[in-house]
A = this chain, B = another copy of it.
Amino acid sequence: MKVIADLCVVPIGVGVSVSKYIAACEKVLEQAGLKIELHAYGTNIEGDWDAVFAAIKRCHQVIHEMGAPRITTTLKFGTRTDRNQTMAEKVESVEQKLNR
Alpha-carbon separation in the docked complex, A3 to B90 (Å)? 26
Category for how many chain A residues contact B: 35 or more
Asked, given contacts A12-B10, A18-B12, A82-B70, whether A41 binds B97 with beta carbons under 8 Å apart, the answer is: no
Residue of B nearest to A57 (CB): B49
Alpha-carbon separation in the docked complex, A41 to B39 (Å)? 10
Alpha-carbon separation in the docked complex, A87 to B36 (Å)? 18
Nearest CB of B to A19, in Å = 4
Asked, given contacts A12-B16, A13-B15, A71-B80, whether A40 binds B6 with beta carbons under 8 Å apart, the answer is: yes
Asked, given contacts A12-B18, A13-B15, A41-B4, whether A73 binds B78 with beta carbons under 8 Å apart, the answer is: yes
